[in-house]
Structure 1
């Protein structure tokens, strides 16, 4: 990041993803203060400073002006609706608007917003990248897209804004293995995954990119879409999970995405995932994979790292 080492970083939403992200940002620049803002009192992650404030109020919440030094090095936003607070998806654009006003008022050099590949909302197994048309058909997709547009609009004001669309977040404390071992997803559904620490690395990475990358959207996944049946087969060794599971017996979440997501644009900037497939991540979480193919041999519905799936294109750096 281009500001001096004393410039503050504000991370909004220190939850399962945001808290370790803040700790990683603090560890990377010990002389820099990293603040974590939450609407409720939360302990600060290691090396960080906690701030009780409501990002949806923006600079109308005086806590931001009192705590933060100007100019800010960056604002990073990792918010999600909370069932405990009764939040609706409207929290996404509200948080984006608040973060944008904070970034503008405090002269932030960069704004990074973690969104979701759910914004594509494809259900036919098609390949998508950052140039794929977004056509909101429900409240969640509309809220996600509105939030992204709000963030990207700040780029015109001189703030280096970036949207990271993460897919299928998993990692320590969030294990998708049992769900797939139980066959809870239709076997022909395409799934996309993002290892938590790889998304955190992507946040740090885009903060180092030059100003020419402002106003950019990146998909942040392992770039290896895989069908649910292949995951079930890997975990259980049962071929029937791939070929014979009756669809009517599958407890599929209503509206579940079925799409193949390319992260080629982010890869082209130099970022690399440490978990290039979900099978690597499942092993890291302690799963044995009796049905997994030998290295160099792809399972049905599984593209090997570095090999594009049919229909994938290589996008440029901009959305």
Structure 2
């Protein structure tokens, strides 16, 4: 029997969490990176590194039974399709499963209202528009068994609020009716693994937890877990922020996650940020 082989483009934070589930099950995983130092780190974890762009990926594409695309698009489109799209199209029907990690940013702003996978895509940011276009480009490939995962704000080991709260640099920016959905990286991994086990080509999944919450609530909870002072509230309209930081407040929505539960049988490890932060704190001690 052919060994299950995942070719992971842009093998970063979420893909590493997936690899931690697949490698013990006997999978071969080939991961691309732009950094020679990161390539060495990947190799130590059991992932076969390739430089992208740079290395010839034709053999890896030919060996892959599964593809995962984490590499983000830019103004010129999807970098994977731009560089090796012809080779992927030539094998489209031979892949058992293809996953594309997108973002809930493709839905745009809904002023705090609930949305689901049937909600029209109407991104309000440049990055969201690039993601929408990349989703469409992948979906346009005939016979490709594509699955799209629209990820909420990602947190997990090394990506939580504790470091900033400890350093006194965390900020509680208050914008009326602002809510974000989030997802722990371990839950991303289990959702993608469940999809691999139960392919349903053409499906898009929202990947988020059960509790969309204002960002200031998360910072306050983190501070209380650490028994440190809660950072003072700052009004969004007058707070000094970089354009990038301010752009994260451009959209507010509550994202439903019913499909990953009903179609994939997923039971979230961290159903809210409170369980997730508690686990992160315990792991760091």
Name the TM-score class by shorter chain.
0.7 to 0.9
The separation in 1 between residues aligned to 2:69 and 2:233, in whole angstroms, is 43
Corresponding residue for 1:77? 69
Q: Which of the pair has the greater relative contact order for Cα pairs under 8 Å at 6+ separation? A: 2
Q: Distance in 1 between matches of 2:261 and 2:75?
A: 31
**Deviates most, 216-225 or 134-143:** 134-143
How far residue 63 of structure 1 moved from its aligned partner, in angstroms, is 1.6
SS of structure 2 residue aligned to 1:165: strand
Structure 1 contact 100–151 (Cα < 8 Å) conserved? no
Residues 1:12 and 2:12 aligned together: no
Match of 1:316 in 2: none
8 A contact 2:170–2:231 mirrored in 1: no
TM-score scaled by length of structure 2: 0.79
- CA gap of 1:105–1:254, structure 2 versus 1, over 3 A, is same
Distance 1:121 1:251 in 2: 24
More helix by share: 2
**What CA deviation, in whole Å up to 9, does each residue of 1:264-302 have, x standing for no partner?**
111112112201001111111218xxxxxxxxxxxxxxx
CA–CA separation in structure 2 for the residues paired with 1:206 and 1:246: 41
RMSD of aligned Cα (Å): 3.1
- Cα distance, 1:79 vs structure 2: 1.7
Match of 2:32 in 1: 37
Runs of 4+ deviating beyond 6 Å:
241-244
CA distances 1:194-238 after superposition (whole Å, capped 9, x unpaired): 10111011111111114xx21111000013212234334434469
Match of 1:25 in 2: 22
Preserved contact between residue 11 and residue 78 of structure 1 (Cα < 8 Å): yes
SS of the residue aligned with 2:150? strand
1:50 is aligned to 49
Partner secondary structure for residue 18 of structure 1:
helix
Give the whole-Å Cα distance in 2 for the aligned partners of 1:66 and 1:12.
Answer: 14
SS in 1 for 2:109: coil
- Deviation at residue 172 of structure 1 after TM alignment: 0.3
Tell me the CA shift for residue 11 of structure 1.
Answer: 0.6
Are positions 1:281 and 2:273 aligned together? no
Q: 1:254 to 1:123 in 2, by over 3 A?
A: farther
Q: Secondary structure at the match of 1:286?
A: helix
Task: Tell me how far 1:25 sits from its aligned partner.
Answer: 2.2
Q: Deviations over 1:3-50 (max 9, x none)?
A: x4424220111222223323432222x1x3211122343122522211
Q: Is the 8 A contact 1:194 1:221 kept in 2?
A: yes
Structure 1 position 51, deviation (Å): 1.4
Instruction: Name the CA distance, whole Å, in 2 between partners of 1:36 and 1:162.
Output: 19
Establish whether residue 254 from structure 1 lines up as the match of residue 251 from structure 2.
no
Q: 114-123 or 45-54, which moves further after superposition?
A: 45-54
Deviation of residue 102 (structure 1)?
A: 4.0
Give the TM-score normalised by the residue count of structure 1. Answer: 0.72
Matches within 5 A, 1:150-169: 150-154=137-141, 156-157=142-143, 159-169=144-154
Gapped runs of 5+ residues in structure 1?
Answer: 55-60, 82-88, 288-319
- Contact 2:6–2:65 (CA under 8 A) maintained in structure 1: yes
Aligned to 2:190: 201
CA distance in 2, matches of 1:117, 1:274: 20
Report Cα offsets for 1:96-145 as digits up to 9, x if no partner. 55565443334322110101111112151121111111124442122100
Aligned to 2:181: 192
Indicate conservation of the 8 Å contact 2:110/2:252, yes or no: yes
